[in-house]
Amino acid sequence: MRLATYRAGKTCILYDADSLCDADRAPQTAPQLMLKGFDPAWWRDAGRVTGEAPGRGASLFLNVGEGVEWVLRPYRRGGLIARVSDARYLWTGLERTRAFRELRLTALLHERGLPVPRPVAARVTRHGLTYEAALITVRLPGARALAELITRQQADSALLERVGATVRRFHDAGLDHVDLNARNLLIDPEGRVWLIDLDRCRLRRPGRWQAANLARLQRSFEKFGAAEAMAAVRRGYAASA
C-alpha cells in the first residue's frame, strides 16, 4: 500500500496509489477519481451507483469495474450538534481530521493482516475554521452485518465465537473501537469476520477500554433482542487469549 497526498485548492486527499491504479481498469482515470470521485452525482451520472448502505450519511456502493466495488462514506454528525451542522467539524490541523486519522489507522491495520476493508482515499475540504470530509474503502463482496444475521436467527454459536476471537485479535493489536456494535461487524460469504468504521478509534495500551468495548457490544445485542449471543462471543474471546 502506497499512501500519497493530492492537493487542489482547499481540498486535500490522502489516497492509496495502488487502489487508484486498480481503478484505472474502469472508464474513469485516476486524475478524474481524485477530482470527482467523492461526488455522488458524478457516480450516478455514470450509472455506477449499485446501492446504498443504511445509517447516517447515506454511504454509496460504487462500481469501479471488473467486479470491484467501493464504499463512499461522508462524515456526518449526530445528536444535538447536528442541528447546527451535520457535515462540518472543527479544524485543528489536516492530520487530526477524522478522515485522515481513520484512513491511516485502517491502512496500518490492513498491512498488519487484520480483517478491515482496504482503504482507498480520504478527502478533506477546509472552510475556514471548519472542514468537511469523506472516506472511500473497498467493499467486501457479499458481506452482511452481524446485526442482520442475528435478526434473521442465522448467527450460530460457532459464528459468534469467531466474532469473539476476531475482537480479541483487534484488542491484542491495541485497537480501541469506540463504536463496537453488531452493525460494524461484517460476515463474508466464507464466514470470515470483518470490522468496519474506525472513525475516532485509536491504538492504546491494554486497559479498561477493552471491557468497555465488550460492554458496548453487549448493549448492541440487547438492542437486537439477542442478549444471550454475548456468551458465545465471550467464549471465543477468552479462547483466543
Q: How many CB atoms lie within 10 A of CB 239?
A: 11
Q: What angle do CA 31, 34, 36 make, to 5 degrees?
A: 100
Alpha helix positions (H), 66-199? 98-111, 146-151, 157-172
Could you confirm whether 179 is annotated as catalytic? yes
Q: What angle do CA 231, 225, 146 make, to 5 degrees?
A: 70
- C-alpha 121/C-alpha 89 separation (Å) is 19
Question: Which sign does the torsion angle of CA 64, 67, 68, 69 carry?
Answer: positive
**Nearest one of 233, 131, 142, 129 to 180, comparing CA atoms:** 233
- C-alpha 102/C-alpha 105 separation (Å) is 5
Q: What angle do CA 48, 19, 64 make, to 5 degrees?
A: 10
- C-alpha 222/C-alpha 5 separation (Å) is 42
Instruction: Scan for cell 470470515, then name that residue.
Output: 192
- C-alpha 110/C-alpha 142 separation (Å) is 19
The active-site residue, picked from 24, 86, 179, 188, is: 179
Active site residues: 179
